[in-house]
Structure 1
């Protein structure tokens, strides 16, 4: 069981959201507990606010299994679990203005703002590396390196720049790479060309884009291999993703930071290029010759 703070908050000290904790422990759950996890993820977070008996009935398990599942996530009781869900929803929906108002005042004697900010980014990078399963990172890089099928990338208001950055590099390494248009109508036209087995990488951080959730649902319907790059609170797109790569973005100030997303993308690009080097080197060489 995880440690708890002295004020007995519902959220364990590791700071993970309920959804993030589910993804972290999924492989350790029993078959019945996995049904509880999938039931909750399929109707997240609504089912978590239902009484235990209703949660159990919807998931096709016993009430005792629901309570065991909650305990496996690190919560001491069902009310603690529900309280954590409410806190998570509040955190997910905070605007930049609300984050600024909630930021603690800087104590005298602290480091210069730039030093403190860079230290926070370094900590976010380390924590992101610890959160991401190596097996999932390697699986994505290997799949990209195969070069088969299409690779479709898309982000939201601030993360589309990360998608564009990944697209610009992957185009040099493998064929079939394209970024889906931000306009809904044009994106719908593009989705027609998505084939079963194509890779789709979606970038989505709080406050999550409902249009990206719809796009993820459409991609799942077309049997694309969907990958989600998200923040520590985990976008709802995760329910349609085969691989979820959470990055720490919280800065303790007005704006979240996408530094960890960019660094993760650079690591994916570097590893993919390494794995695909025989074909990638020929492709890069041809482009350089003009």
Structure 2
């Protein structure tokens, strides 16, 4: 199969893929085009680059788009889309995946583009047509609803070794896909002590939310855990304003109250930071920043190590950038703990 990938108006990459399976690859950013081509052993001839890849190779960070979500495809292709196609992409990501499950006419109307633009957009994502695009989104919705009762149990004979590898890959994949710009901006928000920070975990993700709160309270003041009870949470949400930050954790088998909480905070002007999975909670529609972690593995229970890795990366960056302020706070906390008699010789109490 010969795939023509435009890199810049003057440069084209022709990729010859030896595979029986249909695979689409994303265009490279223009500034990386020639360098990446030469590094990969491609033949550069004037305005053309001839590359040969096997089915296991990939471009722009996606090794196999058959395993990628539609959101992954959009992220990989966003820089190469036309202005109208980018408008469609952003509307879809903001209301993911709901908008894509509607008719092409409805999608186009919400994105303020023409129906042919939507069809060109999904074709660039690698779908044969709008039905295939919607089928992929429906599959993602189904995956997002999977729970421990519907996931098969792994065989015991290779469990430990294979699972260790899976967990390592979850962490490395999740961190590799972090947007450095978003990470920097979220760290700035969380470091701003003029803001109050409210953290909400779900039934399954509350342990990770608590882990973030622990680090934040060591680093700064005005950090609050939102109650799991929606009724008790309402008392706090009534006071949230544009100077505040809401951090929400919501992964598959998503919680409606987490989505509504995000919506309320956004409507009141707060900055909303969402931690979710690859299928994305619909709370993303109301979020200013979205961090996606890989959660699926051979265990019937989704893994939280990807989310934890993002939390610890943020904590590390906050500590690094604010150490001159963090240190005296930690010293004061340790002195108070000592006076309260809450330190133990084994240092177990934290």
Q: How does the TM-score come out when normalised to structure 2?
A: 0.74
Tell me the secondary structure at the aligned position of residue 98 of structure 1. coil
RMSD over aligned Cα atoms:
2.6
Match of 1:48 among 84, 89, 100: 100
For residue 98 of structure 1, what is the aligned residue in structure 2? 150
**Contact 1:142/1:275 (<8 A) preserved:** no
1:170 counterpart = 2:216: yes
Q: 1:60 aligns with which of 93, 112, 124?
A: 112
Of 302, 314, 325, the match for 1:256? 302
Residue of structure 2 equivalent to 1:159? 205
The aligned counterpart of 2:316 is 270
Equivalent-residue separation in structure 2 for 1:26 and 1:151 (angstroms): 31
Find 2:89's aligned residue among 10, 15, 37.
Answer: 37
Aligned with 1:81 (options 120, 128, 133): 133
Aligned to 1:224: 270
Greater shift in the superposed pair: 168-177 or 17-26: 17-26
**1:20 to 1:269, Cα distance in 2 relative to 1, 3 A:** same
1:119 has 2:165 as partner = yes
Structure with the greater relative contact order (CA < 8 A, sep ≥ 6): 1 or 2? 1
Q: 2-side partners of 1:9 and 1:99: how far apart? A: 27
Q: Secondary structure at the match of 1:202?
A: strand
Q: Which residue of 2 aligns with 1:198?
A: 244
Aligned CA distance change for structure 1 residues 58 and 266 (closer, same or farther; 3 Å): closer
The answer to which structure has the higher strand fraction is 2
Q: Is the 8 A contact 1:159 1:203 kept in 2?
A: yes
Pick the structure with more helix per residue. Answer: 1
1:277 positional shift: 1.1
- What CA distance in whole angstroms lies between the structure 2 residues aligned with 1:142 and 1:46? 31
Alpha-carbon deviations, 1:202-236, whole Å to 9, x = none? Answer: 11110111100000000101111111111111111
Partner residue of 2:228 out of 182, 187, 199: 182
Partners of 1:5 and 1:184 in 2: how far apart? Answer: 52
What stretches of structure 1 of length at least 5 have no aligned partner?
none
Q: SS at 2:149's partner residue? A: helix
Alpha-carbon separation, structure 1, partners of 2:119 and 2:225: 43
Give the SS at the match of 2:150.
Answer: helix
**What secondary structure is seen at the aligned counterpart in 2 of 1:157?**
coil
Choose from 319, 322, 326 the match for 1:280. 326
Shift of 1:20: 4.4
SS in 1 for 2:252: coil
**Residue-pair matches, total:** 283
Q: Which whole-Å CA distance do the structure 2 matches of 1:149 and 1:277 have between them?
A: 19
- SS class of match (2:224): strand
TM-score, normalised by the number of residues in structure 1: 0.88
In structure 2, the CA distance between the partners of 1:64 and 1:209, relative to structure 1 (3 Å rule), is same
Report if the CA contact (8 A) 1:20-1:233 is conserved: no
Out of 195-204 and 140-149, give the one that drifted further: 140-149
Determine the C-alpha separation between the residues in 1 that align with 2:19 and 2:184. Answer: 35
Instruction: Name whichever of 21-30 and 248-257 sits farther off.
Output: 21-30
Check whether the contact 1:22–1:73 (CA below 8 A) recurs between aligned residues.
yes
User: Which range moves more in the overlay, 35-44 or 120-129?
Assistant: 35-44
Which structure 2 residue ranges, 5 or more long, are not aligned? 6-16, 25-63, 337-350
Larger Rg: 1 or 2? 2
